[in-house]
Structure 1
Amino acid sequence: MTTLDFERATRLAAATLRHARELGVRPLAAAVLDAAGHPLAVLRDERASFLRPQIASGKARGCLGMGFGGRELARRAQAMPAFFDAINSLTGGEVIPVPGGILLRDGAGGLLGAIGVSGDTSDNDERCALLAIEELGLRGDTGDPQA
């Protein structure tokens, strides 16, 4: 089984920020958490606003806490707003149920952790992370069925 250590997590976060610059999207922050929800790497482009790391962490925490990617979290939050208000009460507001949070899996589907990205549109945040995930040979679970 592949492991997610701080070196791989740092490479993943850095690759996400690099892809953002290459694509010309707004400055991002990326937070990589292990499967238990502990931060391994949190990087912020020096031009990204100061709240971006916390938002990125909230996207990743939500995925880990609920067990699915940010797109499914967003759908469920829209359908059950009271439930997600309760979750945010339990977590001190640390769950952000929108795209840009992605579960990280190894080749066999085992859960390694999650990455959250913030700074541009949720679609662009997710796109940059997925490019980095692929580059590092991992699988990303966005919460949408695989095409």
Structure 2
Amino acid sequence: MAKVIRSTVLPAPIEVVWDVLRDFNGHDRWHPAVASSEIERGRDADRVGSIRRFKLTDGSELREQLLTLSDAETAYSYCLFDTPIPLFNYVSHLRLMPVTDSDHTFWEWEGRFDTPADQHDAMVRLVGTDIYEAGFGAIRTHLGLES
């Protein structure tokens, strides 16, 4: 099983960052890889069990399910159902923590998944760089923060 962990510190209060990231269906407004997103069956985006179906800018479609959501812990987790790439049993955890001496936010994004051995390095790079690190930069831009 592959494990990818990326983290960053954002120069913004945790409430500001959580307000954007908490929206399980809002990643099309800030992540550069996501073109559009919708929650299936008209459910609320913050309801555990909700499934988001989204299109990437390359036209491929994915489906992910919200597994947990905690405002108290400023965290959620989700799993990947359908994807055109070899990521199997993918589960991701996103967690924010306050950096109390500066009113900044620590953001950790972790994923675990299975993939064929010959795809391991490529999938780790894709998740770590193209999803997580690209997301960090995109949130900075979205919130108007310095890079």
Give TM-score, length-normalised by structure 2: 0.34
Give TM-score, length-normalised by structure 1: 0.34
Structure with the higher fraction of residues in strand conformation = 2
Rg larger for: 2
